[in-house]
Every structure is written in structure tokens, then in C-alpha cells.
Amino acid sequence: MQAKFSSATESVSVPRPAPAPAPHNLIIENRSSVTATGVTRILSCDEGGASLETQQGGLVIGGSGIQVSELSVQTGEVKIYGKIEYV
């Protein structure tokens, strides 16, 4: 029995791991403001809460008097103010 060798010109595909998600931070100050980074999209927002899409999945912030005051598309940072009751 003879062994078969592949040609030296064949390429071998090595699987590469998926890139790690970018850093995502959530800072809550005195339950009256939230700063979130890694935000890719605001899905919805009203006085009762905000639903965000981040690089690591969905994020819901709820309470009363909720207002989105700042959104930076370049940095993915969002600032939310109001009475924060749940995240």
C-alpha cells in the first residue's frame, strides 16, 4: 500500500477564533444617571425606560422620568437620566 501525499501548493484553512466583543461599561450614579458604553443602537425610549442594543447584547434600563440626553455614535456612549429603578 502506498501513501498519498498532497501537493505542496494546496492551502490549509485554519479556523480562527471569533473576535472578542469590544469593552462594554455601565456606570450608575446615585440611581439618577446611567452612562453606558458599547451601545450600537437605541431601540426605544420613553419616560418609563430605554431599550438599547450593545456590542454584547440587549440592555433595558427602566424607571420614571427617563431621558436620553447624549448619544455619541463615534464612541458608542449613551447618557440616561431619571429615576433608575432597574437595569
> Average pLDDT in the 9-36 region?
78
Beta bridge partners of 62: 49, 86
For 37-68, how does the pLDDT look when each residue is reduced to its tens digit (9 = 90+)?
999 999 999 999 999 999 899 999 999 999 99
Task: Specify the pTM.
Answer: 0.71
> Smallest Cα–Cα separation from 23: which of 5, 36, 13, 7?
36
Q: Where are the domains of the chain?
A: 26-86
pLDDT of 72 above 70: yes
CATH assignment, 26-86: 2.60.40.2000
Of 13 and 42, the structure prediction assigns the larger pLDDT to 42
The pLDDT, as a whole number, for residue 3 is 55
Residues 64, 82 contacting (CB under 8 angstroms): yes
